Structure 1
């Protein structure tokens, strides 16, 4: 039986790779699908000599052909990023800097999070959309021609929104089409406009956004879930171009929010929090790491910062001392379903709800961690510190135990960096100076030990061949 920490070996043995559609067979051919002209103009206009090309897994089959054509058109050296450190929707600036790239061409679906250093051109890939079928599905979902509807789309279908607007605008005077923008607004968003998730659209109804319904063009996924939780006051419907079907979204937003608020209560009970670095390219991630560390320190909780690439349950299960994790990632990857994980994983906003007494639940859910930083639209200052004797008692809704809401202003005493890890003797490398070292000593198994001079030397022998679940010589060894 497969569990959260294993997979069905039979499936792995029988798995075969299916045929991969190449860019030549897509809409507009290789040059049209990947917008070679626009990409070449970007490279030549910036005078870039080294450019990194980032593809998602489903488009890697075209990577070599695209790189060859781009080098022929621009004369610049192209580097294909073979694997991304985190989600493929984010620009992997770290991998690009390894080759000294001066710019990045990001292909495929994107979260449109702003980058820190390198100039980026997003090329989404013009996936086909049956505009007539989509318009017909919209009419069935919204028979009232006076409906106030905002049309959102996955970025890979953004190229077809103009044609869809020409079909629907004469029939629906109150329809609004969002526009994909790859940069943040220069300051606060103008009054009556929404700038979020790389989309911009005006809000004209007297009641604001809550008077609108949302129509999403794209497949079900993380982007749609993030939209629905953030704009939870709006009813959603969608059209899936792959199936050609429209539907009213039946995701129980109240249930989803109740699940997230339950995780907030778990974060209030936690004493040790692991801060997971889920991005190295989104602007402001270092600032929010410092913000979370300070928030946890003033709340009287210990914290560890962990950078481990792509997350899975087995990796996080190594940190048994951690009560809960908080993931710093882009808007699409921050809402991690942690039901299979040994410990829950929350978002920075949920941790703020748990540790900042001045922040209250207003019904507006935030998935962009940059909104929490000082000077941002949703920043809330911590209240003044109070003595421990005057801390307000609170009862955990999960354990029923009493806990105190602590806000500590004076900084905790810090040991000199040189004594954080200290040599104690020949058998024990770490002293109990840090909490992590203390917990490590309490474990019965602490990892592999070298035991130099104690293990006899043996000759190298031929090892088993094949994959671990079915070595080639296993059948011969059995009686």
Structure 2
């Protein structure tokens, strides 16, 4: 039967729908009582720390999935941080001074202690939610930051931070059963680790396994050291003295770890078993630990590195402004790219997405400066690949010197340390066995480069490669930079301050739109076009002058 419609069906949502939609973007997943909120968010510990440090302006940083609890956490903290009464102040109905109830009777109170504590909720962080957002906290003139939820534990640069990992419950019997199925041998060496919300269960699980006959169990605790053999975790004494011995240990990890941690550990340990804590996995099989392997992902990362070997223009994306010493890493990356004869441009774009970086089509590849968790970005949806500083060092190596050992590191401090050790070794070798300087021409000594993906010759992989010098009066001197812009015969800028500009060259060769052109700069008789009124209003409906909304 054919149904006759009196009007065409509505196939799109009205433009004003988003202004009237009341659906919660982040629905409440856990309905908790005040007592459960106090336990999960460690209210008493937070209050004690704020009082001990005498912070007066505190920023509370929540990830998106915890914003539904932020108001209640704020209320409980504000209630517990009310200024205490002075010793001779009002008393309770039992005749006890009110300040004694708060446990402050033995403290010497100052005027600063009697000032109220200002709390501010931070949401929509500038970069990743795992990092402490010092930028947003400084906007509210905060003395310190309370960071909730998962954290990369990278050291901060300016403000003190207190990490509240938000404790989560764990079925110990199910976890113990999963461990016994994964490791039936009681003499096997296993390190128990967990995601930060479940870290409080590690020690008790290790003790329970010891009582069941396991003799080589190590319970890793949290430490603020991303460059450790196991990032931000303690390691056995044997591993601390000899990091290579970590390959004889197995890992049992509670909850799904970040991909960067898996890549770091896969090449360092014997095996990794992950006990999932998400509800879907627990419903399917609550007593199974899954063995994880990142061999395929590592091969994809290496293929990505080799595809960027012939990139001539790099973009450096700053994905943090809080991690300590990130500026040193920026300078290191810039120097590495310059030493390879390539050009780099620095970008600060906030949270990285494909639309932002696609605006810079002259960039052949991107390198991210961020914390050890957020530096690894799956760039399959991006216009150009995005890699880490560790991977950049491999990409800049010549094809004959690039060696892939399978090891992978995310923390940039370890990358800088490895580079310093390598330079020290090279200097020692050159001191013992001096190498004669190459006096040949730069062009003749440069080997040809080929794109391994296409097999084609690449002519301009080092646009910033400077000649060794110009012979002047018998002396080999470098060209003197000038402060003027260099122009071609048609007036197009090709260099700035005597240095070639690949972006300017790309602008003249490839870009179809070069910005607004002011005609009267070139022709005095042409005074440009008339100014016209543009669109006004809001995104739900613009108006063009006196016309109707569009």
Q: TM-score range by the shorter chain?
A: 0.7 to 0.9
Compared with structure 1, are the counterparts of its residues 215 and 450 closer, same or farther at alpha carbon in structure 2 (3 Å cutoff)?
A: farther
Q: What whole-Å deviation, never above 9, does each CA across 1:384-435 have from its counterpart, x for those lacking one?
A: 896634345554422324569989898997856x75799x9xxx99776443
Determine if contact 1:112/1:182 at 8 Å carries over to the other structure: yes
- Aligned partner of 1:150 among 177, 182, 191: 191
Count of residues in Structure 1 that have an aligned counterpart in Structure 2: 445
The answer to whether the aligner puts 1:312 opposite 2:353 as a matched pair is: yes
Within 5 A, what are the aligned runs for 1:387-406?
388=442, 389-391=444-446, 395-401=450-456
| Equivalent residue runs for 1:228-239 within 5 Å | 228-229=265-266, 231=268, 233-239=269-275
| Mapped partners of 1:409, 1:283: distance in 2 | 37
Partner of 1:191: none
Is the CA contact (8 Å cut-off) linking 1:226 and 1:335 kept in structure 2?
no
In the other structure, the counterpart of 2:92 is none
Tell me the equivalent position of 2:5. Answer: none
Contact 2:58–2:119 (8 Å) recurs in 1: yes
1:47, CA displacement in angstroms? 1.9
Does structure 2 conserve the Cα–Cα contact (< 8 Å) formed by 1:298 and 1:408?
no
Residues 129 and 15 of structure 1: CA distance in aligned 2, closer, same or farther (over 3 Å): farther
1:181 corresponding residue in structure 2: 223
Cα distance change of structure 1 residues 465 and 60 upon mapping to structure 2, 3 Å threshold: same
Alignment partners' CA distance in 2, 1:115 and 1:438: 39
Question: Structure 1 CA distance, aligned partners of 2:54 and 2:453?
Answer: 59
3-state SS of 2:234 partner: strand
Alignment partners' CA distance in 1, 2:128 and 2:534? 43
The alpha carbon displacement at 1:249 in A equals 2.6
Please report how far the alpha carbon of residue 238 of structure 1 lies from its aligned counterpart in structure 2 after TM superposition: 0.9
| Closer/same/farther in 2, CA of residues 223 and 43 from structure 1, 3 Å limit | farther
CA RMSD of aligned residues (A): 3.8
Superimposed CA distance per residue, residues 40-68 of structure 1 (whole angstroms, 9 cap, x where no aligned partner): 22222222111111100011122222223
Counterparts of 1:184 and 1:431 in 2: how far apart (Å)? 43
Q: 2:42 aligns with which of 20, 35, 48?
A: 35
Q: 1:409 to 1:209 in 2, by over 3 A?
A: farther
Distance 1:340 1:129 in 2: 36
- Residues 286 and 456 (structure 1), Cα distance of their counterparts in 2 relative to 1, 3 Å cut: closer
Q: CA deviation at 1:329?
A: 1.5
In the other structure, the counterpart of 2:28 is 20
TM-superposed deviation, 1:322: 0.8
Q: Work out whether residues 263 and 298 of structure 2, in 8 Å CA contact, stay in contact via their aligned partners in 1.
A: no
The residue aligned with 2:414 is: 371
TM-aligned CA deviation for residue 447 of structure 1: 4.8
Residue aligning to 1:188: none
1:222 to 253, 256, 259: 259
Task: Find the counterpart in structure 1 of residue 339 from structure 2.
Answer: 298
Q: Per-residue CA shift, 1:94-124, capped at 9, x if unaligned?
A: 1111122111110000111111121111101
**CA shift for structure 1 position 180:** 0.7
Describe the shift of the 1:136–1:459 C-alpha distance in structure 2 as closer, same or farther (beyond 3 A): closer
Q: Confirm or deny that 1:59 pairs with 2:134.
A: no
Question: Is the partner of 1:176 in helix, strand or coil?
Answer: strand
- Report Cα offsets for 1:119-141 as digits up to 9, x if no partner: 11110100111111111111111
Unpaired runs of 5+ in structure 1? 1-8, 186-193, 468-472
Higher-Rg member (1/2): 2
Distance 2:516 2:245 in 1: 60
Does residue 351 (structure 1) correspond to residue 406 (structure 2)? The answer is no
Tell me, what secondary structure is at the counterpart of 2:308?
helix
C-alpha displacement of 1:359: 7.2
How far does residue 288 in structure 1 lie from its aligned partner after superposition?
0.8
Aligned to 1:465: 540
SS of 2:74's partner is: helix
Question: Contact 1:23/1:62 (CA < 8 Å) preserved in 2?
Answer: no
Contact 1:326 1:345 in 2 (8 A): yes
CA contact (8 A) 2:60 2:120 kept: yes
Q: Distance in 2 between matches of 1:123 and 1:409?
A: 55
Please name the residue that 1:4 is paired with: none
Preserved CA contact (<8 Å) 2:310 2:450: no
CA contact 2:56–2:118 (8 Å) conserved in 1? yes
Instruction: Check whether the contact 1:223–1:332 (CA below 8 A) recurs between aligned residues.
Output: yes
Conservation of the 8 A alpha-carbon contact between 1:151 and 1:176: yes
Using the TM superposition, give the Cα deviation of residue 340 of structure 1 relative to its aligned residue in structure 2, in angstroms: 1.3
Question: Which residue of 1 is the match for residue 319 of structure 2?
Answer: 278
Partner of 2:377: 336
Q: 1:152 to 1:409 in 2, by over 3 A?
A: farther
Q: Which runs of 5+ in 2 are unaligned?
A: 1-11, 82-115, 431-436, 470-477, 520-526, 543-547
Shift of 1:310: 1.1
Q: Displacement of 1:437 after TM fit?
A: 3.3
TM-score for the superposition, normalised by structure 2:
0.71
